[in-house]
Amino acid sequence: MALELYLDLFSQPCRSVYMFAKKNQIPFEFQKISLMEGEQHGDQFGKISKIKKVPAMRDGDFCLGESIPIMLYLAEKFQTPDFWYPADLQRRAQINEYLSWQHTGIRMYGSKMFWLRLMLPKVMGVEVPKEKMDGALEDLNNALNLIEEKFLQDQPFIGGDHMSLADLVAIVEIMQPLGAGLDVFDGRTKLSAWRDRVQAFMGKELFDEAHQLILGAQESMKQLDPSKLEHLKPRVIRLFL
């Protein structure tokens, strides 16, 4: 049985896994799971992931969830180049530091901005109070400042001179607000230069392919039937408002 990856490229963690596998020429079958339509809650997917989240992986009889463990599994199984997750103790510790911080340090703020600017007001018809939007923007900017000042500093990449899993995870998280029309790179020359280096390393074709859905979200959501998102509305309002 071929290795299967269960993904929705609207999701930042899914894009990380997808780009990592593609860049390293790891053979896999792409299994599309639509988060917007709630397919992660289906009985069939529940056999793959009891936590009912994407990304998920099935390799024969072995199933695994969460993006970081999946990428580390793939890195070891397919013996990807050392720079992704360096053997050097201190460099690996720097990568681990970012990977531990990012879940609540940046990813949640990028997602929140996507929902507050696009999904809630323009798709679900929910009014977002100005103070909520202002607070979310401040949180996002503070997180971006930390990435520039703490994790990047004056280095080409997070943790040093070479691309790593930390950079791959970071770029997909930072790109998320662009889907709602917020250019987080505007006025940030250090962050913009880093993005260009990551894009050049990954290859523009793969970079654009992975981000096509999120960057086209404003147009694609105009075609979406809002009733399909009713199952999401209570949870999203509880999380973000």
> How many CB atoms sit inside 10 A of residue 166's CB?
23
**Residue from 85, 36, 78 nearest 57 by CA:** 78
Looking at residue 222, its pLDDT comes to 82
Q: What are the sequence ranges of the domains in the chain?
A: 4-80, 89-240
Query: What would the pLDDT profile of 186-199 be if each residue is shown by its tens digit?
Result: 999 999 999 999 99
Query: What would the pLDDT profile of 19-40 be if each residue is shown by its tens digit?
Result: 999 999 999 999 999 998 888 9
Residue 217 CB-half CA count within 13 A? 23
Looking at residue 197, its pLDDT comes to 98
C-alpha torsion sign, points 187, 188, 189, 194: negative
Looking at residue 224, its pLDDT comes to 80
- Percentage of the chain beyond pLDDT 70 is 100
Query: What would the pLDDT profile of 108-128 be if each residue is shown by its tens digit?
Result: 999 999 999 999 999 899 999
Banded pLDDT at 173 (limits 50, 70, 90): very high
**Residue from 36, 59, 85, 90 nearest 236 by CA:** 36
User: Mean pLDDT of all residues in the chain?
Assistant: 95
Joined tokens for residue 182: 């917020």
Cβ contacts of 103-106, under 8 Å, gap ≥ 24: 105/143, 105/146, 106/143, 106/144, 106/146, 106/147, 106/170, 106/173, 106/174
- Sheet containing 29-32: which strands, arranged edge to edge? 29-32, 4-7, 56-59, 62-65
Which of the following CATH numbers is that of domain 4-80: 3.40.50.2300, 3.30.1490.20, 3.40.30.10, 3.10.105.10? 3.40.30.10
Which of the following CATH numbers is that of domain 89-240: 3.40.30.10, 3.40.50.10860, 3.40.50.280, 1.20.1050.10? 1.20.1050.10
Confirm whether pTM is higher than 0.85: yes
Per-residue pLDDT, averaged over 164-193, amounts to 97
Q: Is 29 left (phi over 0), alpha (psi -120 to 50) or beta?
A: beta
Per-residue pLDDT, averaged over 73-97, amounts to 97
Cis peptide before 13 (omega within 30 of 0): no
Banded pLDDT at 101 (limits 50, 70, 90): very high
pLDDT exceeds cutoff 80 at 1:
no
